[in-house]
Amino acid sequence: MGKRSLRTRLMILFVIVGITPALLVTSVLMNRIVSKEQAEVKRLSEEVVSNLVTDLTGLRDEVEKMAEKFATDERNGMFWTVPLLQSAKPDSLSWQNAYNSMSDGIYRQKQQLDYFCDELFVAIEGQVIHTENGSLGVMGSQQYEFVQKAFQSQQVTWSPWVYSESLGEYVTYAMYPLASMADSQVTAALFALGIKESQVYDLILNRVGETELVRDIYFVDTSGKRQSDSLFSDGTISSALGEMISTDVVDITNKMLHGEYDKEILSAEYVSYGGNKVLGSIGMVPFLDQTMGLVVETNASDAFKAIRSNWLWACGIIGVSVLVILTLSLYITTSFVRPISELVSATKLVAEGDLSIQMQNTRSDELGQLSLAFDQMRENLRTVISTIEQTVVSSKSASEQLSATSEENSALLSETLNSLNEMTDGTRLVSGRTQEMAIKTANIKGLAEEGQGQLL
């Protein structure tokens, strides 16, 4: 890091300062967009489930109401023919007449009602005695468990899917009970209306045909058994009725049925039974003889295609932002570093003794002021150096003059010293002679005193 130039450091700084906020802002915006898109996809998927639950519940109610009208209408035979059929022996004339009256009443009722069912049957005391299209065996030729359960229920019940050889597909029946006149707690007869699986499928496909995102729709019970084929939004149907699956849908269906979720419709991402990642919306609907999950699955890659597109746009925007930031960083760094580099070069030249360099200053900002100050410093330095040079020259001349004067003074001093030496030598000589004279004088004085003594 210490070897990096100022330009490199500034580039890194500008890139970090410029890109980081852009990335943060883009990330926040994209998270909001993605959350919004995901919520919208889930909303559409759950709306399809909600509409289908409403449609299927409505169909179920219509069939049950129609079965009630057939069973309870006093004018068209079912209400009063049931006691006759119970009391008469099968194949007797009385039984046959009551049966014909019942059949005529059913026919008249169908003419009066907006009949849309595909099959019907009548059962007396646990045995089917009449079926419109021959889907069920009559007169004890075959026992049906769902019929026996309906006799014990004393309320409208639905059968599981029952395959009809005559119709070539599965049928489910809404069975309305008729109480015995002797005991209202006992079911004497059943009147049942049946709808084919194709009618249910058409209802579903007509609804989802408006939604392009839906990939697959099916029913599944709490054991994981498929209770319908796979219905695709393009109108195709893939046979899957009765297959067992073990995806997250089964667990979600069980939890929803037991009230572990507050929502009536739940969406989740998981891997489907086909191995594809899907967004599934599950809603509980009473269908056939139980409450089961209605599953609407959307291919995750198709559902979130718009999200991926938005991410690509975001990446493109980030890329362009990076290029713009790099370009601006390079421009700003160059405009900031160049005058500093020029100033460094000029400083090196000045340090080497070249004071003729002059900054090309075209800026009015702080860097321009720095260049101007450098030029002023360089000029001042030239003036100082020039002054020093002149001073040095003047000092040299004065020194030379002083040196010459010093030599003259030195000669005179030498002569003076020589004279002084000679004077010293003379003085020493006079001193010696004076001492000699003093000694002689003393001797003479002594001799004089000695001679005076002898005279006395």
Domain ranges of the chain: 212-303
Q: Can you give the pLDDT at residue 340?
A: 73
Of 165, 237, 166, 175, nearest to 200 by C-alpha is: 237
Average per-residue pLDDT for the chain: 80
Q: Which of 193-202, 207-216, 263-272, 301-310 has the lowest mean pLDDT?
A: 301-310
Q: Can you give the pLDDT at residue 251?
A: 92
Of 278, 228, 227, nearest to 248 by C-alpha is: 278
Q: Can you give the pLDDT at residue 161?
A: 94
- Average of pLDDT values for 288-314? 75
Q: Which residues on neighbouring strands pair with residue 191, listed in sequence order?
A: 122, 176
Reported confidence tier of residue 282, pLDDT bands at 50, 70, 90: very high
Asked if pLDDT for residue 432 goes beyond 80, the answer is no
Q: What is the pLDDT of residues 333-342, one digit of tens each?
A: 777 677 777 7
343 phi, psi to nearest 5 deg: -65, -40
Residue type, 226: R
Asked if pLDDT for residue 359 goes beyond 80, the answer is no
For residues 17 and 303, which has the higher predicted lDDT (pLDDT)? 17
Where residue 142 falls (left for φ over 0; alpha for ψ -120 to 50; beta otherwise) is beta
**Residue spans of beta strands (DSSP E) within 108-244:** 119-124, 127-131, 157-158, 162-164, 169-179, 187-196, 216-220, 230-231, 237-238
Burial of 26 (0-12, 13-18, 19+ CB in 10 A): middle
Tokens representing 370? 């720095």
Reported confidence tier of residue 1, pLDDT bands at 50, 70, 90: very low
Q: What's the pTM?
A: 0.65
Give the highest mean pLDDT range of 93-102, 226-235, 302-311: 93-102
Q: Can you give the pLDDT at residue 219?
A: 93
Q: Can you give the pLDDT at residue 447?
A: 62
Give the highest mean pLDDT range of 17-21, 224-228, 275-279, 389-393: 224-228
Tokens representing 383? 């003036």
Our CA dihedral for 194, 200, 206, 209, rounded to 10 degrees, sits at -170
* Count of CB atoms situated within 10 Å of the CB of 428: 10
**Residue spans of beta strands (DSSP E) within 180-240:** 187-196, 216-220, 230-231, 237-238
Q: What is the pLDDT of residues 34-68, one digit of tens each?
A: 677 777 778 888 888 999 999 999 999 999 999 99
SS3 81: helix
Pairwise CA distance, residues 178 & 87, whole Å: 15
Asked if pLDDT for residue 14 goes beyond 70, the answer is no
Q: What is the pLDDT of residues 143-171, one digit of tens each?
A: 889 999 999 988 999 999 999 999 999 99
Q: What is the pLDDT of residues 103-147, one digit of tens each?
A: 888 888 888 888 899 999 999 988 899 998 888 988 766 788 999
State whether the Cα torsion 61-62-65-66 is positive or negative. negative
- Average of pLDDT values for 216-242? 86
Asked if pLDDT for residue 454 goes beyond 60, the answer is no
Asked if pLDDT for residue 94 goes beyond 50, the answer is yes
- Average of pLDDT values for 170-196? 90
Reported confidence tier of residue 220, pLDDT bands at 50, 70, 90: very high
Reported confidence tier of residue 433, pLDDT bands at 50, 70, 90: low
The dotted CATH code for 212-303 is 3.30.450.20
Reported confidence tier of residue 442, pLDDT bands at 50, 70, 90: low
Q: Which of 1-15, 46-60, 72-86, 209-223 has the lowest mean pLDDT?
A: 1-15
Percent share of the chain, pLDDT over 90 = 21
- Average of pLDDT values for 179-191? 85
Of 165, 96, 180, 172, nearest to 130 by C-alpha is: 96
Pairwise CA distance, residues 99 & 345, whole Å: 119
Q: Which of 96-110, 254-268, 414-428 has the lowest mean pLDDT?
A: 414-428
